[in-house]
Chain A
């Protein structure tokens, strides 16, 4: 991703280790096609994602942020995703008030068995973000390949453990 992308928009996807990351893995090994313009960040639980991460992603010029975690009731940490859902509602509405389109932030529940759903979510979200266009907070960094690298360097350290 990144190096060989062909998509217009850039998306940051926070995937929970136990469900959605495994779902993404399944989509990969099943050779399902989905757009390559996504930088995925594996976190232990979507509940660990602070609004600061989302703010930072948009500030760095990301066009869309996807948060994907276990279905309600399936959270590895019992109730982490309830927290995510509450935070998501506040982030979505406040970002919208500032002028960052609500279409640029999405929350989805994708289980480890839902490889197909994962591919569909990425496809659907990419289309949605493409419709919204490049983020107005981008500052011409599409001409600066180093920015994508900076984004990667800023978020990849959130992946602290090896995959389960």
Chain B
């Protein structure tokens, strides 16, 4: 059964709306379909057009806590939803996930380890090719060369906040990046490396490696390399991978036990 057929079936009573994509002027844009409009739902999900779907679910639920929705979700979207749920931002009990496996170039080249959700409705499961080559290359560089590299990359930042705005895991109402004490107003590039370090450290235990930040960055800052390292640090220290399971507790969201000291 295709995603659209499944969506039609769910709209017969199980859910109030289905979050998918609609073709608008040749682009696939996220759209919340009701039973009346479901015929406009796109059949295909091109690889170049990804969105922070989990953020949309979070906002829909914030606006209307009772709403029941189904959502077309890739592997990264599902991981985001799981992580948001563990942080109390999304109620997965009222969400049906219509799993979409990434195929072709996206699955191979995007670089995430699991380019598929736990249950696939559409697409073939392809194992991802996680790419840590840049992280490892940088690990081998001397510290001062690393600092030079990052300072020069961060120096191109135009402070558009695109990385934060697109991030499905960024949901704070008050953001440190807008705190004048942390980030001076009206200065471009923003304080280096503080601006990007704030985001990097906030990604610890959160980043699901969807890569939307790097895609959104107009200046081509290798943000994903930075956050992948953060992900690895968290995994090495706490054996925790954000979005992997609903049961595991996020290490930086709970106080801790003697086990953490080992």
A interface residues (Cβ-Cβ under 8 A, vs B): 51-52, 55-56, 58-59, 72, 79-80, 82-83, 85-87, 89-91, 93-101, 136-137, 154
Cβ contact within 8 Å between B252 and A87: yes
A-B contact list, 25 entries, CB within 8 Å: A52-B176, A52-B182, A52-B201, A59-B193, A59-B194, A72-B261, A79-B255, A80-B255, A83-B255, A85-B261, A86-B238, A86-B251, A86-B260, A89-B237, A93-B236, A94-B201, A94-B229, A95-B197, A97-B138, A97-B139, A99-B143, A99-B146, A99-B149, A100-B143, A100-B193
* Interface residue B26 (Cβ < 8 Å from any Cβ of A): no
Contacting residues, chain A, for B261 (C-beta < 8 A): 72, 82, 85
Chain B 203-243 interface 0/1 with A at a Cβ cutoff of 8 Å (1 = within): 01000000000000000000000100110011011100000
What residue of chain A has the Cβ atom nearest to residue B150's Cβ? Answer: A98
Given contacts A52-B198, A56-B194, A85-B260, contact A97 B226 (CB under 8 A): yes
What residue of chain B has the Cβ atom nearest to residue A99's Cβ? Answer: B147
Contacting residues, chain A, for B181 (C-beta < 8 A): 56, 154
A82 to B148, CA, bound (A): 33
A122 to B43, CA, bound (A): 65
Q: Which of B150-188 contact A (CB under 8 A)?
A: 150-151, 176, 181-182
Given contacts A52-B176, A83-B256, contact A94 B230 (CB under 8 A): yes
Which of A80, A98, A154 meets B197, CB within 8 Å? A98
* Interface residue B191 (Cβ < 8 Å from any Cβ of A): yes
A110 to B191, CA, bound (A): 33
Cβ contact within 8 Å between B234 and A97: no
Cβ contact within 8 Å between A136 and B260: no
Which of B144, B201, B260 has its CB near the most chain A CB atoms (within 10 A)? B201
Contacting residues, chain A, for B252 (C-beta < 8 A): 86-87, 90
Min CB gap B231→A, angstroms: 11
Contacting residues, chain A, for B146 (C-beta < 8 A): 97-99
Chain B: interface residue total (CB-CB under 8 A): 38
A8 to B197, CA, bound (A): 26
Min CB gap B54→A, angstroms: 23
Complex A-B, nearest 3 residue pairs according to Cβ-Cβ distance, in ascending order: A99-B147, A82-B256, A99-B146
Min CB gap B228→A, angstroms: 10
Contacting residues, chain A, for B200 (C-beta < 8 A): 94, 98
A90 to B182, CA, bound (A): 20
Min CB gap B99→A, angstroms: 31
* Interface residue B133 (Cβ < 8 Å from any Cβ of A): no
Cβ contact within 8 Å between A98 and B193: yes
Contacting residues, chain A, for B257 (C-beta < 8 A): 82
Min CB gap A5→B, angstroms: 25
What residue of chain A has the Cβ atom nearest to residue B238's Cβ? Answer: A86
Cβ contact within 8 Å between B256 and A56: no
Cβ contact within 8 Å between B191 and A59: yes
Chain B 64-79 interface 0/1 with A at a Cβ cutoff of 8 Å (1 = within): 0000000000000000
